[in-house]
Amino acid sequence: MQNKQYEGVPGIGFNNFSIGVPAYFQAQYNNTYQILDNVSKVISTHTMKFGGNVHYNQVTEHDFGANNGTFGFNGTETGSDWADFLIGAPNTFQQGVQAPLHTRSYYLGLYAQDSWRIKPTVTLNYGLRYEITTPWWETLNQLETIVPGLQSQAFPGAPKGWVFPTDPGIARTLAPVRYNNFAPRIGLAWAPAASSGVAGKLLGGPGKTSIRASFGMFYTAFEDATGFNEVGDAPYGYFWSSPTPPMFTTPYVDRQTGNVEGQRFPVTFPPRDVSASNPDNTVDWTQFTPISSSPGFYYKNRVPYAEHYSFSIQRQFGSDTVASISYVGTQGHALLSDLESNVGDPALCLSVSQPSQVTPDSGTCGPFGQNGVYTRADGTVINGTRYPLGN
């Protein structure tokens, strides 16, 4: 038991309900410090605005993810999840422990814009915004990312490709802070006057027709979820899931074979001052490998942004009718998404996909089986069928 203050019936999940002490919860403490100001000035036909905003964000998370263990029953043994529970036949067991996460970021934004009334019927808006928005960093550098082929210097024993802030080419924010985020905006509003000919008949008199067009770039900020997703990642946290259905009373023993998986807890976290210049060689990485699922923030990420544009025509008919036609578009760029960094090797999976290719107590590889552990018929153990990150 990792967290005795929340001891009780462990979290037990069934197909449609669950019982026991909640297995996953957190305490979170947020602070935002902000300074902003805006100034407006009217000079002749110009209405000018200037302003700025700077804020510093603090998020401290204390996560409790399956600290005391959690079981799952889905009916694998008897066809009924409840019957499996009554005979003590879970299909899964998971336990975890995580270090607190202290993530930080800052933002700076400056802008200037002008609304210029060129003529009574024509107004032009134009402006520029400049922004610096940082990816989130962790005050103790307890974040990780994936760079295939790169060996960590902060943790020389880590699997190749699993790297940390202060490693060569890895910023403290994992992705670099970029200083070229310029966002122009421009807009035009025109109320054409009546003229002779077909155009005059279509557009009507002053105030009858309005034509507007605009374009602008808008940057957003990185979510703190990019750091939260890494809570519990090795070596600052540890999640263990049973590779085969376990015993209910002794979850570190495989139910079918009696194989003892070993006691995985408690876990000792590295000291707080680990860096490439002060490496840590004491971590037992065999306890953490194979790393089956650990999201990492891409070390080349840039700030997401969008381009917005629009064009519209409005025409008044009579005293109470307006017809409007508009085109509005948005294009997103560099948007955050989840991508697989360590894809499966189809040939390796197929080589252990048939019962004849593995030992009797081993499962076989199939769809979504990249993280499984398989034992070939000759006794060779395969820890997952993904391509090595060292490639």
Q: What is the pTM of this model?
A: 0.77
For residue 198, pLDDT over 80 is answered with no
For residue 2, pLDDT over 70 is answered with no
Residue 109's φ and ψ, nearest 5 degrees, are -135, 130
pLDDT, tens digit, 9 for 90 and up, residues 336-365: 888 877 788 899 999 999 999 999 988 899
What one-letter code names the amino acid at 223?
E
Q: How far apart are the first and last CA of the chain?
A: 38
Residue with the larger pLDDT of the pair 351 and 238:
351
pLDDT, tens digit, 9 for 90 and up, residues 202-232: 555 555 899 999 999 999 988 888 887 888 7
H or E stretch at 200: helix 197-203
Cβ 252 vs Cβ 246: under 8 Å: yes
Mean pLDDT over 131-159 rounds to 93
**Gap between the Cα atoms of 275 and 135, Å rounded:** 19
Q: What percent of the chain has pLDDT over 90?
A: 58
For residue 155, pLDDT over 50 is answered with yes
Mean pLDDT over 79-85 rounds to 94
User: What SS3 class is residue 6?
Assistant: helix
For residue 13, pLDDT over 90 is answered with yes
Copy the structure tokens of residue 111: 């802008």
Mean pLDDT over 361-389 rounds to 86
Sign of the Cα torsion 246, 18, 68, 60 reads: positive
Q: What is the pLDDT of residue 237?
A: 86
Please provide the DSSP assignment of 159-175 as one string: PTTEE-TTSTT-BTTBS
**Gap between the Cα atoms of 228 and 236, Å rounded:** 13
Domain boundaries, the chain: 24-65+91-341, 342-391
Per-chain mean pLDDT for the chain: 89
Q: What is the pLDDT of residue 220?
A: 92
Copy the structure tokens of residue 311: 């064009």
Q: What is the pLDDT of residue 389?
A: 58
pLDDT, tens digit, 9 for 90 and up, residues 240-282: 888 889 999 999 999 988 999 888 888 888 888 899 999 999 9
Q: What percent of the chain has pLDDT over 70?
A: 93
pLDDT, tens digit, 9 for 90 and up, residues 96-126: 888 889 999 999 999 999 999 999 999 999 9
Mean pLDDT over 284-303 rounds to 84
**Gap between the Cα atoms of 149 and 101, Å rounded:** 27
Residue with the larger pLDDT of the pair 364 and 384:
364
